[in-house]
Protein backbone atom coordinates (compact mmCIF):
# COMPACT_ATOMS: atom_id res chain seq x y z
CA UNK A 1 0.00 0.00 0.00
CA UNK A 2 2.63 2.47 1.05
CA UNK A 3 4.86 1.50 -1.88
CA UNK A 4 1.99 2.12 -4.21
CA UNK A 5 1.35 5.58 -2.78
CA UNK A 6 5.03 6.38 -3.07
CA UNK A 7 5.16 5.24 -6.68
CA UNK A 8 2.20 7.43 -7.45
CA UNK A 9 3.99 10.50 -6.08
CA UNK A 10 7.14 9.63 -8.03
CA UNK A 11 5.15 9.17 -11.24
CA UNK A 12 3.27 12.41 -10.65
CA UNK A 13 6.56 14.26 -10.28
CA UNK A 14 7.73 12.82 -13.60
CA UNK A 15 4.48 13.95 -15.14
CA UNK A 16 4.97 17.50 -13.87
CA UNK A 17 8.52 17.49 -15.21
CA UNK A 18 7.15 16.43 -18.60
CA UNK A 19 4.51 19.18 -18.53
CA UNK A 20 7.23 21.75 -17.79
CA UNK A 21 9.43 20.44 -20.60
CA UNK A 22 6.64 20.23 -23.18
CA UNK A 23 5.47 23.76 -22.43
CA UNK A 24 8.99 25.15 -22.50
CA UNK A 25 9.64 23.47 -25.83
CA UNK A 26 6.49 25.02 -27.25
CA UNK A 27 7.17 28.54 -26.03
CA UNK A 28 10.92 28.60 -26.51
CA UNK A 29 12.03 28.65 -22.89
CA UNK A 30 14.58 26.49 -21.09
CA UNK A 31 13.11 24.08 -18.52
CA UNK A 32 15.92 25.04 -16.13
CA UNK A 33 14.40 28.52 -15.86
CA UNK A 34 11.47 27.08 -13.97
CA UNK A 35 11.76 25.77 -10.45
CA UNK A 36 9.20 23.51 -8.86
CA UNK A 37 8.05 24.36 -5.37
CA UNK A 38 6.21 21.52 -3.62
CA UNK A 39 2.98 22.93 -2.16
CA UNK A 40 2.73 20.66 0.85
CA UNK A 41 -0.27 21.82 2.89
CA UNK A 42 -1.94 18.78 4.53
CA UNK A 43 0.86 16.52 3.20
CA UNK A 44 2.75 14.51 5.84
CA UNK A 45 6.50 14.82 6.37
CA UNK A 46 6.85 11.20 5.27
CA UNK A 47 5.27 11.90 1.88
CA UNK A 48 7.28 15.08 1.46
CA UNK A 49 10.41 12.96 1.88
CA UNK A 50 9.39 10.83 -1.12
CA UNK A 51 9.81 13.97 -3.21
CA UNK A 52 12.92 15.30 -1.50
CA UNK A 53 14.63 11.93 -2.03
CA UNK A 54 14.43 12.72 -5.74
CA UNK A 55 16.25 15.99 -5.19
CA UNK A 56 13.40 18.48 -4.87
CA UNK A 57 14.36 21.03 -2.26
CA UNK A 58 11.72 23.77 -2.32
CA UNK A 59 8.68 23.36 -0.10
CA UNK A 60 5.86 25.82 0.43
CA UNK A 61 3.56 25.77 3.44
CA UNK A 62 0.50 27.88 4.25
CA UNK A 63 0.29 27.67 8.01
CA UNK A 64 2.77 28.11 10.82
CA UNK A 65 1.34 25.16 12.78
CA UNK A 66 1.95 22.81 9.86
CA UNK A 67 5.51 24.01 9.47
CA UNK A 68 6.11 23.50 13.17
CA UNK A 69 4.73 19.98 13.15
CA UNK A 70 6.70 18.82 10.08
CA UNK A 71 9.95 20.67 10.72
CA UNK A 72 11.50 18.19 13.20
CA UNK A 73 11.13 15.34 10.69
CA UNK A 74 12.45 17.36 7.77
CA UNK A 75 15.14 19.70 9.01
CA UNK A 76 17.91 17.30 8.01
CA UNK A 77 16.70 17.29 4.42
CA UNK A 78 18.26 20.67 3.74
CA UNK A 79 15.06 22.13 2.36
CA UNK A 80 14.32 25.69 1.44
CA UNK A 81 11.06 26.56 3.18
CA UNK A 82 8.72 29.10 1.65
CA UNK A 83 5.73 30.63 3.41
CA UNK A 84 3.03 30.82 0.72
CA UNK A 85 -0.04 31.31 2.92
CA UNK A 86 -1.55 34.40 4.50
CA UNK A 87 0.71 35.57 7.30
CA UNK A 88 -0.69 37.29 10.37
CA UNK A 89 1.63 39.84 11.97
CA UNK A 90 1.48 38.06 15.33
CA UNK A 91 3.01 34.95 13.73
CA UNK A 92 6.05 36.74 12.27
CA UNK A 93 8.31 35.99 15.20
CA UNK A 94 7.76 32.24 14.95
CA UNK A 95 7.63 31.94 11.17
CA UNK A 96 11.08 33.52 10.91
CA UNK A 97 12.52 30.61 12.90
CA UNK A 98 11.69 28.21 10.11
CA UNK A 99 11.31 29.76 6.70
CA UNK A 100 13.84 31.05 4.19
CA UNK A 101 11.44 32.95 1.95
CA UNK A 102 8.11 34.63 2.62
CA UNK A 103 6.11 34.79 -0.60
CA UNK A 104 2.96 36.28 0.89
CA UNK A 105 4.01 39.83 1.79
CA UNK A 106 1.00 41.92 0.78
CA UNK A 107 0.81 44.90 3.14
CA UNK A 108 3.17 47.42 4.65
CA UNK A 109 2.27 46.56 8.25
CA UNK A 110 3.43 42.99 7.71
CA UNK A 111 6.63 44.17 6.02
CA UNK A 112 7.36 46.53 8.91
CA UNK A 113 6.82 43.77 11.41
CA UNK A 114 9.27 41.53 9.51
CA UNK A 115 11.78 44.38 9.35
CA UNK A 116 11.48 44.95 13.10
CA UNK A 117 12.00 41.33 13.97
CA UNK A 118 14.89 40.87 11.53
CA UNK A 119 16.54 43.99 12.92
CA UNK A 120 16.32 42.46 16.39
CA UNK A 121 17.77 39.17 15.13
CA UNK A 122 20.43 40.93 13.06
CA UNK A 123 19.45 39.03 9.92
CA UNK A 124 17.64 39.54 6.64
CA UNK A 125 14.84 37.62 4.95
CA UNK A 126 13.99 37.10 1.28
CA UNK A 127 10.46 38.01 0.33
CA UNK A 128 8.08 38.07 -2.61
CA UNK A 129 5.26 40.57 -2.95
CA UNK A 130 1.91 38.79 -3.35
CA UNK A 131 -0.47 40.46 -5.78
CA UNK A 132 -4.20 39.73 -6.05
CA UNK A 133 -4.42 39.64 -9.82
CA UNK A 134 -7.81 37.92 -9.89
CA UNK A 135 -9.59 40.65 -7.91
CA UNK A 136 -11.30 37.93 -5.93
CA UNK A 137 -12.17 38.95 -2.40
CA UNK A 138 -11.36 35.51 -1.12
CA UNK A 139 -7.71 35.84 -2.07
CA UNK A 140 -5.01 37.74 -0.30
CA UNK A 141 -2.46 39.93 -2.00
CA UNK A 142 -2.09 43.62 -2.69
CA UNK A 143 -4.29 45.06 -5.45
CA UNK A 144 -2.38 45.43 -8.72
CA UNK A 145 -2.71 49.25 -8.75
CA UNK A 146 -1.22 49.44 -5.28
CA UNK A 147 1.58 46.95 -5.86
CA UNK A 148 4.17 49.42 -7.13
CA UNK A 149 3.70 51.74 -4.16
CA UNK A 150 3.99 48.83 -1.73
CA UNK A 151 7.19 47.66 -3.41
CA UNK A 152 8.60 51.20 -3.21
CA UNK A 153 7.87 51.34 0.51
CA UNK A 154 9.21 47.86 1.19
CA UNK A 155 12.43 48.64 -0.71
CA UNK A 156 13.32 51.05 2.09
CA UNK A 157 13.23 48.30 4.71
CA UNK A 158 16.86 47.21 4.69
CA UNK A 159 16.35 43.81 6.36
CA UNK A 160 13.96 42.64 3.66
CA UNK A 161 15.25 41.54 0.26
CA UNK A 162 12.62 41.60 -2.45
CA UNK A 163 13.27 38.69 -4.81
CA UNK A 164 10.10 38.46 -6.82
CA UNK A 165 6.34 38.61 -7.18
CA UNK A 166 3.75 35.97 -6.43
CA UNK A 167 0.15 35.47 -7.47
CA UNK A 168 -2.63 32.89 -7.44
CA UNK A 169 -4.42 32.77 -10.80
CA UNK A 170 -8.19 32.95 -10.93
CA UNK A 171 -9.96 29.61 -10.58
CA UNK A 172 -11.68 29.57 -13.95
CA UNK A 173 -12.23 27.16 -16.79
CA UNK A 174 -11.56 30.00 -19.22
CA UNK A 175 -7.87 30.02 -20.06
CA UNK A 176 -7.99 33.67 -21.11
CA UNK A 177 -9.15 34.77 -17.66
CA UNK A 178 -6.32 32.85 -16.05
CA UNK A 179 -3.79 34.19 -18.55
CA UNK A 180 -4.85 37.78 -17.76
CA UNK A 181 -3.89 37.25 -14.10
CA UNK A 182 -0.39 36.12 -15.02
CA UNK A 183 -0.01 39.00 -17.50
CA UNK A 184 -0.94 41.44 -14.75
CA UNK A 185 1.94 40.12 -12.68
CA UNK A 186 4.35 40.28 -15.62
CA UNK A 187 3.27 43.90 -16.29
CA UNK A 188 3.98 44.87 -12.70
CA UNK A 189 7.38 43.21 -12.97
CA UNK A 190 8.17 45.25 -16.10
CA UNK A 191 7.10 48.49 -14.47
CA UNK A 192 9.24 47.80 -11.41
CA UNK A 193 12.29 46.92 -13.52
CA UNK A 194 11.87 50.07 -15.63
CA UNK A 195 11.58 52.23 -12.53
CA UNK A 196 15.04 51.13 -11.41
CA UNK A 197 14.13 51.09 -7.71
CA UNK A 198 17.19 50.42 -5.61
CA UNK A 199 17.50 47.16 -3.64
CA UNK A 200 14.62 45.64 -5.61
CA UNK A 201 15.00 42.40 -7.55
CA UNK A 202 11.78 41.12 -9.07
CA UNK A 203 13.35 38.54 -11.36
CA UNK A 204 11.32 35.72 -9.79
CA UNK A 205 7.69 35.27 -10.81
CA UNK A 206 5.97 32.69 -8.61
CA UNK A 207 2.85 31.71 -10.54
CA UNK A 208 1.20 28.56 -11.79
CA UNK A 209 -0.29 25.61 -9.89
CA UNK A 210 -1.54 22.10 -10.73
CA UNK A 211 -4.25 23.27 -13.11
CA UNK A 212 -2.67 26.27 -14.79
CA UNK A 213 1.10 25.79 -14.81
CA UNK A 214 1.29 25.68 -18.63
CA UNK A 215 -0.34 29.11 -18.97
CA UNK A 216 1.90 30.50 -16.21
CA UNK A 217 5.06 29.23 -17.89
CA UNK A 218 3.95 30.69 -21.21
CA UNK A 219 3.49 34.03 -19.46
CA UNK A 220 6.91 34.04 -17.83
CA UNK A 221 6.69 32.09 -14.57
CA UNK A 222 10.02 31.17 -12.97
CA UNK A 223 8.52 29.18 -10.09
CA UNK A 224 5.45 26.97 -10.14
CA UNK A 225 3.84 25.84 -6.87
CA UNK A 226 2.29 22.41 -7.23
CA UNK A 227 0.35 20.37 -4.68
CA UNK A 228 -2.60 18.30 -5.87
CA UNK A 229 -1.01 17.05 -9.09
CA UNK A 230 1.83 15.58 -7.03
CA UNK A 231 0.31 14.53 -3.72
CA UNK A 232 -3.36 14.05 -4.64
CA UNK A 233 -6.55 15.76 -3.53
CA UNK A 234 -6.55 17.53 -0.17
CA UNK A 235 -9.05 16.83 2.62
CA UNK A 236 -9.98 20.53 2.94
CA UNK A 237 -11.16 23.00 0.31
CA UNK A 238 -8.65 25.73 -0.50
CA UNK A 239 -10.98 28.37 0.95
CA UNK A 240 -9.91 27.00 4.32
CA UNK A 241 -6.45 28.34 3.56
CA UNK A 242 -7.25 31.32 1.40
CA UNK A 243 -10.19 32.85 3.19
CA UNK A 244 -8.90 33.19 6.72
CA UNK A 245 -9.37 36.63 8.20
CA UNK A 246 -6.27 38.58 9.19
Ligand X SMILES: *Cc1c(COP(=O)(O)O)cnc(C)c1O
For ligand X, the binding residues (CB under 6 A) are 39, 41, 62, 84-85, 168, 209-211, 225-229, 238, 241
Please provide the DSSP assignment of 26-61 as one string: HHT--GGG-EEEEE-TT--HHHHHHHHTTT--EEEE
* Sequence-distant (≥ 6) Cβ neighbours of residue 142 within 8 angstroms: 106, 107, 129, 130, 131, 132, 150
Name the nearest CA neighbour of 131 among 120, 143, 121. 143
Name the nearest CA neighbour of 83 among 50, 112, 105. 105
User: Shortest Cβ distance from residue 84 to ligand X (Å)?
Assistant: 4
Q: Which lies closer to ligand X via its Cβ, residue 41 or residue 117? A: 41
Q: How far apart are CA 204 and CA 129, in angstroms?
A: 10
Q: How far apart are CA 108 and CA 95, in angstroms?
A: 17
Output the residue with the shortest Cβ distance to ligand X: 227
User: Shortest Cβ distance from residue 225 to ligand X (Å)?
Assistant: 4
User: Shortest Cβ distance from residue 156 to ligand X (Å)?
Assistant: 27
User: Shortest Cβ distance from residue 42 to ligand X (Å)?
Assistant: 9
Q: How far apart, in Å, are the Cα atoms of 96 and each of 13, 35, 156, 180, 233? A: 29, 23, 20, 33, 29
The pairing of beta strand 80-83 with beta strand 58-61: parallel
User: Shortest Cβ distance from residue 95 to ligand X (Å)?
Assistant: 15
User: Shortest Cβ distance from residue 226 to ligand X (Å)?
Assistant: 5
Q: How far apart, in Å, are the Cα atoms of 15 and each of 8, 131, 184, 185? A: 10, 29, 28, 26
Q: Which lies closer to ligand X via its Cβ, residue 68 or residue 210? A: 210
User: Shortest Cβ distance from residue 197 to ligand X (Å)?
Assistant: 25
Q: How far apart are CA 136 and CA 171, in angstroms?
A: 10
102: helix, strand or coil: strand
Amino acid sequence: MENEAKNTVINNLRQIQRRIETTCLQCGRAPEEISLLLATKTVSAEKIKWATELGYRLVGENKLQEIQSKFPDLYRENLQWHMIGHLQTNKVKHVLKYVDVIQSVDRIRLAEKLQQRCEFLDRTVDIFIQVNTSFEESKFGVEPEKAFELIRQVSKLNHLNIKGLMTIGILSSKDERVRECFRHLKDIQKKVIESGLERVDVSQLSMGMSGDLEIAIEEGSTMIRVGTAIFGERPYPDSYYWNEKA
